[in-house]
A and B are shown apart, each in its own frame.
Chain A
């Protein structure tokens, strides 16, 4: 058994347990432990990756329990997919942990914060390394729990508590379908181990039969919840009530990506019809959230909707049968979206927890590091060559083109334009123009502990597209075209130009869309003091601002009838179940209990007599 990955997995759990049990009062110790655990995890995973090959897939398993014929295994799976993800998770999480210490230093609950953060890191690593569905599901739920704890971290604010609840419940909806899918897989295959499943499916491709599409869609339900795809996308923007580093780590870089990761992990189980649905849901989510993002004013909400839209790209990539590129985009997105959120955090701190972009302005000169790194992130997100986002996003759009799925291609291009537009709107309003409020006038650059994470992430946002990430993922999914790449500097050079050689149409149109978006933003928002769009678009703008009334529609469609049903159920529960069924049994049992108590008089003579009678009863019963 290979101990190193187990150590990587368990270190954050150990930190979380230790902090909860022993270091509640000690802020520095808690933070130090938590940071040390995840940084050590990153170093150890580097060691592991450098001393072990990416492929073929291996497992390190121990039998958790075995009774008779029933056996439950607990194992870790290593292949290109999981190992690279471990690096990404520990790396990004490490940077964000360090940033958190700067951001949360003065919060009274800092120990609790770091304990939850460590618990989250542990659960996320568990999802990545899981070797079977049971494990995946356990960690899946753990991630949900830690996310709930962190969204509601400032539980004294009702909005935060509500957002936590909403995230948890919405996720549960998706998990319900996911669990069903897992159970169906289990009934059909009799196994839940990924390798075993794949083997069985290769041996007997028709084993799923008519249930194939249903299983694919049920499993996709899990991803819909966790990766916040339409129609369960409503929780993610509200989740921004949590501390900003949490938004960066959980609701941008890692946890929401878990859905996409899961789809890639079980890609062999998905059949063409379900993939078709997946790609359309992804595309629709991408464009819907991009449109909503156009008219948001809260800096974190803009980023949240952009996350939704990028997740849509990834899901679309999976649906277009190209998990390599989906994972590639997931990874680059992790870098630049974490960067953007941390940059936003830096701005929010400087603005004394003001999040409305129309109260900021002219921060470029006062916060140079934040500005330049934020700009790098924006360029990466807007898919500007040669920033990382360009390569991964272009690959997905090119895939749509090469599969001759023109509607999705057009959708992808549109979203690229919209992305560029709303991101530059954000940059222009926040960093350029005049100061729109007093705090913007005396904003100050954040401390170095928060700036270094920004610099590191900015570096990766710039170079992430050409360092061969997709080549590694390609090892796992050999159908992609990315594996015939050179290594070293030549490979970087080759990758730099590949989009234009491989699919010049997609690359150039994508760049053009980004340019149009930039120009439009420049025209409208360069030095704008208030948003000019509402007057121009009228009702449409209001609809965008109000998120197309999804929350209200859900309220009317689901929550009201649900409340009504709940009222009926409550009545039934109170009067029929509790009143008749439970009270009845309760009463009977309690009566019996009271009657039996009469036997127990406490009188010694009675006890002795009953004892003797008992002996007589025993003898009669056995010897009769």
Chain B
């Protein structure tokens, strides 16, 4: 059966998963069994035994601009990532229809360039405003 043979290929992955779960749980269990139990007191149970007392929230506040810039970064980053395989995969084919391949990528870059201009004009990179 073809379907079964396909699934069989994933057996190592399954084994890896099982192993990972077993290992992490095993370590916890072993540390509880083997570890020496110390004396407990409220002071000892605080996060730090020295310095300031923990008060307030964990996360600091970010400017909303950060998210915008982060998103744009990812967008243009993906573009660069896309360029690598393009450069590698089509090297062989460049001899026959190089113009076409170059044209395709140029139009892709062109569209992104319009996006860049748009972002600049909309002052998405302008941190202060």
| A–B direct touch in complex (beta carbons closer than 8 A) | no
